């Protein structure tokens, strides 16, 4: 009997038939894949921001130490003339001016002339006392790491607010609130991260002779300290602010300086419904951007006695005014906030100092110039 050949063993109708995907199945698969990629893309910025925040927190202590050291060693702030006693500058100018921080309130940069900040480049200026010369502290001296450090770019910038610690006793009140020419000065050093949205021009450095020392290409340092390598429209500040007071995020001027909000007198502290627990603060400001900035999670708040609180959460369950936001902080607030003394101590103020950006840290140091 003749056996069938191999070619005859598999007829076309005996082969398994391949089924193709329908157009609807392909579209559904593409849709599912697209949704997955969108979800992944949404997670990445959150993860990156969380990693950056964790890195900043881990570096906060060492960075804060470096900033404090920079302030304590700053020649202009701590200037003492060996030849001209009337040339009083820096911290000594504040100390000798008995109208400055007369009631121990924190003094922020303003337009009065004694302590100013240039919104275009972030330069701080402290007016001299009497015939003393002004002291200028440009951004380049407040960045860390220092501009044009080989292999790294500036990541942090510091700013200061200051107050007098009165040593004289007011005979009418008994409070230690009278200024004297030898009062210590307390500095609060705000450390913030350089905004991550700042763009650096992608081009070679035009001055060939500078390439070996400063780098072949234009750097973030050029953008922040406004060298001739960057055009006017490319210049940025380390921490910028929008016209409405919110953080810019991309370093566009003006420079974001510390600002004040107040501690609302109500709700009061207590354990009854509608009252504040001891680790709560009621923040008041007529400016919405200030309320939002002050209540950011992780934000640092400085009270009038140099205590620093970190915002942990916002609590909307306690009734408050439309210009008030209630936050929980990382520690019980000072007793004088919860139970103001009577008669009132004139050196206690119902203000909190913070910045548009969440500060990495605030270090408070006391100096006797």
Judge residue 133's burial from the number of C-beta atoms within 10 Å of its C-beta, 0-12 exposed, 13-18 middle, 19 or more buried.
Answer: middle
In angstroms, the CA 56 to CA 37 distance is: 29
pLDDT for res 51? 59
For residues 29 and 92, the model is more confident at 92
Domain ranges in the chain?
50-198+236-363
Name the pLDDT band for 342 (thresholds 50, 70, 90).
confident
In angstroms, the CA 299 to CA 245 distance is: 16
Judge residue 6's burial from the number of C-beta atoms within 10 Å of its C-beta, 0-12 exposed, 13-18 middle, 19 or more buried.
Answer: exposed
Judge residue 139's burial from the number of C-beta atoms within 10 Å of its C-beta, 0-12 exposed, 13-18 middle, 19 or more buried.
Answer: buried
Query: Does the pLDDT at position 2 exceed 90?
Result: no
Residue 191's Cα: distance from chain center in Å? 6
Name the pLDDT band for 214 (thresholds 50, 70, 90).
very high
Judge residue 13's burial from the number of C-beta atoms within 10 Å of its C-beta, 0-12 exposed, 13-18 middle, 19 or more buried.
Answer: exposed
In angstroms, the CA 265 to CA 166 distance is: 26
In angstroms, the CA 160 to CA 331 distance is: 23
Helix (H) / strand (E) containing 330: none
Please list the alpha-helical segments (H only) found in 201-356.
211-214, 220-225, 288-294, 335-338
pLDDT for res 72? 86
Name the pLDDT band for 212 (thresholds 50, 70, 90).
very high
Name the pLDDT band for 142 (thresholds 50, 70, 90).
very high
Residue 208's Cα: distance from chain center in Å? 36
How many percent of the chain have pLDDT more than 70? 89
pLDDT in tens, 37-48: 887 776 656 555
pLDDT in tens, 25-76: 888 888 888 888 887 776 656 555 555 556 666 666 677 788 888 888 898 9
- CA distances in angstroms from 318 to 266, 277, 286, 291, 335, listed in the order given: 11, 11, 19, 16, 21
pLDDT in tens, 244-281: 888 999 999 999 999 999 999 999 999 999 899 999 99
Asked whether 189 and 362 are in contact (CB, 8 A), the reply is yes
Mean pLDDT of the chain: 89
Query: Does the pLDDT at position 368 exceed 90?
Result: no
Query: Does the pLDDT at position 16 exceed 70?
Result: no
Name the pLDDT band for 4 (thresholds 50, 70, 90).
low
Q: Angle CA(246)–CA(250)–CA(253) in degrees, nearest 5?
A: 70
Asked whether 256 and 357 are in contact (CB, 8 A), the reply is yes
Average pLDDT of the segment spanning 316-334: 94
């Amino acid at each position: 009997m003749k056996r069938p050949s191999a070619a005859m063993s598999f007829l076309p109708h005996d082969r398994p038939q391949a089924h193709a995907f329908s157009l609807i199945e392909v579209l559904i698969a593409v849709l599912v894949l697209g949704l997955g990629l969108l979800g992944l893309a949404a997670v990445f910025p959150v993860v990156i921001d969380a990693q950056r925040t964790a890195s900043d927190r881990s570096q906060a202590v060492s960075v804060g130490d470096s900033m404090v050291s920079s302030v304590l060693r700053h020649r202009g702030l701590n200037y003492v003339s060996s030849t001209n006693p009337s040339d009083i500058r820096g911290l000594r100018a504040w100390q000798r001016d008995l109208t400055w921080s007369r009631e121990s309130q924190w003094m922020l940069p303003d337009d009065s002339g004694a302590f100013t900040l240039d919104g275009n480049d972030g330069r701080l200026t402290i007016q001299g006392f009497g015939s003393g010369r002004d002291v200028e502290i440009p951004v380049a001296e407040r960045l860390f790491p220092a501009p044009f450090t080989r292999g790294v770019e500036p990541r942090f910038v510091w700013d200061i607010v200051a107050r007098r610690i009165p040593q004289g006793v007011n005979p009418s009140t008994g409070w230690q609130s009278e200024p004297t020419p030898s009062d210590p000065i307390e500095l609060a050093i705000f450390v913030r991260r350089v905004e991550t949205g700042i763009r650096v021009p992608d081009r070679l450095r035009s001055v060939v002779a500078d390439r070996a020392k400063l780098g072949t290409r234009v750097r973030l340092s050029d953008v922040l300290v406004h060298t001739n390598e960057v055009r006017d429209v490319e210049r940025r500040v380390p921490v910028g602010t929008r016209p409405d007071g919110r953080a810019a995020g991309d370093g566009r001027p003006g420079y974001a300086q510390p600002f004040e909000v107040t501690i609302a007198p109500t709700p009061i502290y207590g354990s009854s419904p509608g009252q504040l627990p001891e680790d709560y603060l009621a923040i008041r400001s007529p400016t919405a951007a200030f309320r939002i900035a002050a209540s950011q999670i992780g934000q640092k708040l400085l009270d009038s006695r140099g205590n620093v609180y970190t915002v942990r959460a916002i609590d909307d369950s306690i009734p408050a005014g439309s210009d008030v936001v209630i936050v929980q902080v990382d520690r019980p607030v000072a007793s004088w906030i919860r139970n103001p003394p009577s008669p009132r101590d004139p050196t206690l103020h119902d203000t909190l100092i913070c910045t548009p950006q969440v500060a990495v840290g605030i270090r408070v140091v006391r100096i006797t110039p």
